[in-house]
Amino acid sequence: MTKTFSPTKRLLVKGIIATCLLSVTRIGFAAAMAQVVAVRVWPSSTYTRITLESNISLKYKQFLLSNPNRIAIDINNISLNPILKNISSKVLKHDPYIKSIRVVQRDQKIVRILIELKQDVKPNTFALSPIAKFKHRLVMDLYPSKPASSKNDDPLLALLEEYKKGELNKKQSEIKSPTNKNKNAPIIVVLDPGHGGEDPGAIGYNKTREKDIVLQIARRTYNLLKKEPNIKVYMTRNEDVFIPLKVRVAKARSLRADLFISIHADAFANRSVGGSSVFALSTGGASSSAASYLAQTQNEADQIGGVSRSGDKYLDNTILDLVQKTTLSNGVLLGNAILNRMKKVNKLHKPFLEKAGFAVLKAPDIPSILVETAFISNTAEEKKLKTAAFQNQVSKAIFDGVKDYIKKRKK
């Protein structure tokens, strides 16, 4: 990850400190004008996200206008620049919620953003502090007011709603013990392509984005698994959308998944490092310092992708111990089964199943693993990751590993 040095930001910080030292009032802050440095619009069937990235945090007021239905956001202390103006061109025709966006300078210091809507929405607006390569962000997520009933049985929208309110774990499905399952019921596999939307994941030397590659691999794996008569397969996301880690786990739990496979591509500062890895959940420490670092950076996905709140309780409940033991040992079994297949399609980064505390692997009753398909930071592997041939090989390895596991697992 490259850190960009921003001289303007630095001068600004110095200016603010100087004003504080003179200890006058907050007039010094008012004088600092905000600058929008990037705008992004992420449409998806579940929700559309608008992100304004700026050098300092934005002060805004938001209100609804009717005839036609619009959302207006007045941003203070800012003048319209070409980047902000360009937001109109970011709206895609197929966006389910946004018809158009206009920006106008209301007076010397206020810019108004007008979002014309295609349907009634519930906006959720929040600010994010700088993280990784991102500066301050103002995020607006537009959710449908009335979820379309045609949206089959996908629980994603409802789970995101609960997540926003901090109620995700209150309404979670009961803990599934292996014994209360019908033996002839199909095996439910949930594939989890990592990252998405505002969170690109790792980025290769040639700008390949992890989020795109892993979605393609997950789709290929999905297509293989869906042909199996005794398997039912779902995906946590099938679009370029940001889904918080806990919502991914919650989706798998509400689908009553039997196994969960998170798909990623690794990255390291040293471009010569390569190979595939498979991780199972560790409840204690990580199997290596690199594994622990990786888990830490992957768990930051929520801060990078951006979420307004969170909550996590059920993991601390000791009643789960027994269920968790079976889950963990089945996770190891699944991980090894996939690792054995992966070593036929790529060299391994480490010749054994690794363990780390990835947040996305923490469903107490679902054996969960994470596959680092290859290093996107390694130019040779980046090139490979983009090819249909390698993507198919990885998908087949995951598919075969799942089938090997099903034969061996403890019930």
Paired tokens of 43: 């449409």
At closest approach, how far in Å is the CB of 356 from Zn ion?
12
182: buried, middle or exposed (CB in 10 Å: 19+, 13-18, 0-12)?
Answer: exposed
Nearer to Zn ion, 144 or 201 (CB): 201
Q: Report which secondary-structure segment, H or E, holds 217.
A: helix 210-225
Site for Zn ion in 183-202 (CB under 5 A): 194, 201
Whole-number CA gyration radius for the chain: 23
Edge-first strand listing for the sheet containing 121-128: 36-42, 48-54, 136-144, 121-128
Nearest residue to 319 (alpha-carbon basis) of 129, 175, 125: 175
8 Å CB contact between 230 and 186: yes
Nearer to Zn ion, 194 or 401 (CB): 194
At closest approach, how far in Å is the CB of 359 from Zn ion?
12
At closest approach, how far in Å is the CB of 255 from Zn ion?
22
At closest approach, how far in Å is the CB of 287 from Zn ion?
18
Alpha carbons 366 and 339: distance in angstroms, whole number:
19
For the chain, helix, strand, coil in percent to 5 are: 35, 25, 40
φ and ψ at residue 126, rounded to 5 degrees: -155, 160
Nearer to Zn ion, 113 or 304 (CB): 304
At closest approach, how far in Å is the CB of 300 from Zn ion?
10
Does residue 264 interact with Zn ion by CB under 5 A?
A: yes
Nearer to Zn ion, 259 or 360 (CB): 360
8 Å CB contact between 219 and 238: yes
Please choose, out of 61-69, 249-257, 261-269, 272-280, the segment that lies near Zn ion by the rule CB under 5 A: 261-269
Alpha carbons 300 and 247: distance in angstroms, whole number:
15
Edge-first strand listing for the sheet containing 60-65: 60-65, 70-76, 110-117, 98-107
At closest approach, how far in Å is the CB of 49 from Zn ion?
19
Please choose, out of 162-170, 259-267, 309-317, 345-353, the segment that lies near Zn ion by the rule CB under 5 A: 259-267
At closest approach, how far in Å is the CB of 267 from Zn ion?
8
Nearer to Zn ion, 194 or 367 (CB): 194
CA distances from 136 to 3, 128, 279, 359 (A): 15, 6, 33, 25
In 46-180, where does DSSP find H-type helix? 82-85, 156-165
Site for Zn ion in 348-367 (CB under 5 A): none
Nearer to Zn ion, 207 or 227 (CB): 207
Nearer to Zn ion, 142 or 301 (CB): 301
Please choose, out of 12-20, 240-248, 262-270, 310-318, the segment that lies near Zn ion by the rule CB under 5 A: 262-270
Nearer to Zn ion, 365 or 382 (CB): 382
Place of tokens 């929700």: 47
Total chain residues near Zn ion (CB under 5 A): 3
At closest approach, how far in Å is the CB of 262 from Zn ion?
8
Nearer to Zn ion, 209 or 264 (CB): 264
At closest approach, how far in Å is the CB of 218 from Zn ion?
12
Binding mask 199-218 for Zn ion (x = CB under 5 A): --x-----------------
Nearer to Zn ion, 144 or 194 (CB): 194
At closest approach, how far in Å is the CB of 195 from Zn ion?
6
8 Å CB contact between 399 and 339: no
Alpha carbons 72 and 66: distance in angstroms, whole number:
10
Site for Zn ion in 118-157 (CB under 5 A): none
Alpha carbons 193 and 211: distance in angstroms, whole number:
7
Please choose, out of 23-31, 35-43, 256-264, 302-310, the segment that lies near Zn ion by the rule CB under 5 A: 256-264
By Cβ distance, which residue is nearest to Zn ion?
264
Chain residues binding Zn ion by CB under 5 A are: 194, 201, 264
